[in-house]
Amino acid sequence: MATIQVSIVLVMFFLHLFSGARSSTFAVVNKCSYTVWPGVLSSAGIPPLSPTGFILQPGESTYINVPTSWSGRLWGRTLCTKDSSGKFSCLTGDCGSSTVECSGAGAIPPATLAEFTLNGAAGLDFYDVSLVDGYNLPMMVVPHGGTGGNCSSAGCAADLNGDCPLELKVVDGTGSEGVACNSACNAFGNPQYCCSGAYSNPNTCKPSSYSEYFKTACPTAYSYAYDDGTSTFTCAGADYVITFCPTPSTSIKSSNPTAVDVSACSVPASSSALIAGALTTLAAIWQLRHLF
């Protein structure tokens, strides 16, 4: 039997082969049943990656070459459209650029954020998946090929939009369907929730019932400003697979209600299927070589 999906690890190996392993690779995978528009923002003073925004249909993947010592964040935008004038906007995770590329703009909360500082202290990568600015879709970060530190998976595989506390829930245009979940800081602006003012240190800013809701649902995600102990991970020399909806989602946000998780499907190993698979692999490798 021949699987439809090209092996992420195999493609990342070929990328390293062609690049001389001078940098890290982000494999960005959409296992959601709906379209996701990832956005990428480099930290202040760090050159931007290319692209800074793109589209991933259900089942699609893309690969980004990330320079040594890069720092920044990546997130997913959902429910995106263009109006009659061509202005692009998203109901969740929008960066306000009016185009698919974010071009130096960050995510408007609430949004699930994957945060990276590569080749930091002691040569380690530091990474986390943060819900400090709220949540809009499931996302996991999985390191591959790294050593040292705590090379573990980080993120939130749970779909929280339906179960989000009512006072934090963000709904769609009809007012009936939850499409994102605010953080308590974004929702209320209270210094106790924002870890600001008199609460601006770990001794005074403690987990709230809202951050504990996030932590219970997503044990390896950053739930509030001082949630470092169980939410920040380190690794050296790794590549990273960033997956939206690691457990495939069936939300009504789906742009194709009949979409399925193609990684779980298989087809008979007929000649046509084998040829199609080989062409897909070669096309992916050719594309990766032209990223450098």
Region for residue 195 given its phi and psi (left: phi exceeds 0; alpha: psi -120 to 50; beta: otherwise): left
Within-domain flag for 134:
yes
Judged against a pLDDT cut of 70, whether residue 20 lies above it is answered with: no
Range in 67-71, 169-173, 195-199, 270-274 the model is least confident about:
270-274
Domain enclosing residue 133, as ranges: 24-253
**Residue 154 falls inside a structural domain:** yes
pLDDT at 292 over 80: no
In a domain, 276, yes or no: no
Residue 291 within any structural domain of the chain: no
How far apart are the C-alpha atoms of 37 and 66, rounded to whole Å? Answer: 19
Domain membership flag for residue 7? no
Closest CA to 73 of 136, 26, 23: 26
Helix 271-289 vs helix 8-19: crossing angle, to nearest 10: 40
Residue 96 has pLDDT above 50, yes or no: yes
Q: Which of 6-15, 116-125, 145-154, 236-245 has the lowest mean pLDDT?
A: 6-15
Q: What percentage of the chain reaches a pLDDT higher than 70? A: 77
Q: How confident is the model at residue 17 (pLDDT cuts 50, 70, 90)?
A: very low
Amino acid of residue 201: N
User: What pLDDT does residue 95 have?
Assistant: 98
- β-strand 24-30 against 239-244: which pairing, if any? parallel
**In this structure, is residue 101 part of a structural domain?**
yes
Rounded Cα–Cα distance for residues 170 and 3 (Å): 38
Query: What does each C-alpha distance from 91 to 43, 71, 111, 170, 256 come to in angstroms?
Result: 24, 26, 11, 10, 18
Q: What is the pTM of this model?
A: 0.80
Domain of residue 244, CATH code = 2.60.110.10
Tally of domains within the chain:
1
Q: Please indicate, yes or no, if residue 275 is contained in any of the structural domains.
A: no
Residue 219 predicted with pLDDT over 50 = yes
**Mean pLDDT of the region 131-158:** 95
SS3 category, 250: coil
Tell me: pLDDT of 85 over 60. yes
Cα 29 vs. chain centroid, distance in angstroms?
9
Percent of the chain with pLDDT over 90: 71
Q: How confident is the model at residue 112 (pLDDT cuts 50, 70, 90)?
A: very high
Contact 35, 19 (CB under 8 A): no
40-44, 270-274, 283-287: which is most confident: 40-44
* Residue 66 CA: distances (Å) to CA of 37, 76, 246, 287: 19, 18, 22, 15
What pLDDT does 176 receive? 77
Q: What is the pLDDT, as a whole number, of residue 23?
A: 84
pLDDT digits (tens, 9 = 90+) for 264-278: 323 333 333 433 443
Q: How confident is the model at residue 14 (pLDDT cuts 50, 70, 90)?
A: very low
Query: In the prediction, which pLDDT does 249 show?
Result: 59
Mean pLDDT throughout 150-171?
A: 95
The CA-CA-CA angle for residues 200, 218, 75, to 5°, reads 80
Phi, psi of 156 (to 5 degrees): -140, 110
- Mean pLDDT, the chain, rounded, equals 83
Q: Which two tokens stand for residue 236?
A: 């050296």
Answer yes or no: is 260 within a domain.
no
- CA dihedral 206→210→213→218, nearest 10 degrees, is -70
pLDDT at 259 over 60: no
